[in-house]
Amino acid sequence: MESVNPETGDVIATYDGHDGAAVESALSDAAERFESWAARPIQERCRLLERTADLLRERTDEYAELMTREMGKPVDQARAEVEKCAWVCDYYAERAPEQLADETIGTEADARTLVSYEPLGPVLAVMPWNFPLWQVFRFAAPNLAAGNVGLLKHASNVPGCALAIEEVLHDAGVPEGAFTTLLIGSDRVDDVIADDRVRAVTLTGSEPAGRAVAETAGRELKKTVLELGGSDPFVVLDDAPIAETAEKAAYARTQNNGQSCIAAKRFIVHTDAYDEFVGAFAAELDALTVGDPTDEDTDVGPQAREDLMRELHDQVERTVEAGATLSVGGEPLDRDGPYYPPTLLTDVPVDSPAATEETFGPVAAVFEVADEAEALALANDTSFGLGASVWTDDPDRGERFVRRFDAGCCFVNEYVKSDPRVPFGGVKNSGYGRELSRHGIREFVNRKTIWVQHGFGDDGDGAGTDRGDGS
């Protein structure tokens, strides 16, 4: 398994993949470790997350540079990603005991009834390359706190990041077997899911990958959480402050080199603000620095792979052929590496690729609408439903608007983002289930009902106060 620098094409390192015997050993170790890990007091597990957060901060530069080398993320954004991973560890170290505490439910006067949140066992995480640390830690932190053990199948182009995650957790004191990286190809994932020792699966990735994982897991009756693609609308109402909104729009579209499921992709603009916004947006995109991702001044680095850049450019070309106007960018840069510039498409037909497909790179499609009703209809006219944002000078108006979005994460005057304190996930073809917050930590637990009866009741026949047939 090779790690290749997307900017230079140079092989950074070569790793031996895990054969069948190694995978079997990892599964066996995970199943064996689960018993002792789950039995540890949650406070002990959380202290190891605190230590992990400390080590992540100590190693920020090291891990940021590793991400930048393996997938081309601008190094300042990579540092921010490491810091965010430390944050999610700290968050669950502090909050998990409260979030997983027994929940008492009132039923009968002579009974104590409660819900206990208990771990399931080994959980497989299938993760992508675009946020190679963050997307793993937002799975690992809550699940390790909950008492589950983790098995990571990371994207094949970031094996160094996968092993670094395992390393920092083990260095923090998380025992062997509680979190294990599997260096395997996607063709072997089904066999791991089907293994009886794996109790649940989470995937962040493409819609086809999500469907494949859900099909296998469903056949095996295993819980899944899927965070898939997005074509997030960025709605600009007529009263939005244009300069500030355009600046936010440029970052929302180009962060992580535009390779983000929650990046704003469809910019839906009220006609009264359209001309001014397009002009300001074009200027913001044109001013971004495209270059070496290790350079502190770089805003947009290379795409993660050459084939991904070709797919993106093909979407742009087909959209222009369908009638769109190319206002900024639109051609691969004449330099080594898969560099694609920030690109702005206007007059975009609603049935063109940039309107109906997920563009996974720094390409913005702009649409003009006459009023709020048309803006909402266009925003919701997609098979995806991950994130959405609206921009207005009136927050109350914005809140009324976002309540009608058909999406999982809806923001007013802020670009879509994941935050440990609030649930993250989508609807429709963007997946199901939630990560982060107390909602996320409760996805892979047994919500166990416990009923403790004090006394046997007056009739002595064991019927108690059951109603109906006892079901």
As annotated, the active-site residues are: 227, 261
Strand 387-391 relative to strand 409-412, pairing: parallel
H/E run at residue 68: helix 60-71
Q: Which two tokens stand for residue 310?
A: 């070709």
In sequence order, what E strands does 139-263 have? 149-153, 179-181, 200-204, 223-227, 232-236
Q: Which of 401, 376, 418, 379 is nearest to 262 (CA)?
A: 418
Q: Which two tokens stand for residue 285?
A: 């995109």
Q: Is the separation of the CB atoms in 330 and 340 below 8 Å?
A: no
State the Cα–Cα distance between residues 433 and 204, nearest whole angstrom.
11
Query: Phi and psi of 321, rounded to 5°?
Result: -60, -30
State the Cα–Cα distance between residues 11 and 6, nearest whole angstrom.
9
Any bridge partners for residue 180, and if so which? 151
Q: Which residues contact 109 (CB under 8 A, 6 or more apart)?
A: none
State the Cα–Cα distance between residues 31 and 24, nearest whole angstrom.
11
Q: Which residues contact 283 (CB under 8 A, 6 or more apart)?
A: 246
Query: Phi and psi of 26, rounded to 5°?
Result: -65, -40
What's at 132, amino acid-wise? P
Length of the chain: 471
**Which residue's entry shows tokens 């266009």?**
378
For CA atoms 296, 299, 303, 309, give the dihedral sign: negative
State the Cα–Cα distance between residues 326 and 347, nearest whole angstrom.
9
Within 10 angstroms of residue 123's Cβ, the number of other Cβ atoms is: 28
Long-range (24+ apart) CB contacts under 8 A made by 20-26 are 23/182, 23/184, 23/188, 23/192, 26/151, 26/180, 26/182
Q: Which of 175, 197, 152 is nearest to 31 (CA)?
A: 197
What angle, rounded to 10 degrees, do the helices at 42-58 and 60-71 form?
70
What's at 410, amino acid-wise? C
Q: Which residues contact 287 (CB under 8 A, 6 or more apart)?
A: none
Q: Is the separation of the CB atoms in 37 and 143 below 8 Å?
A: no
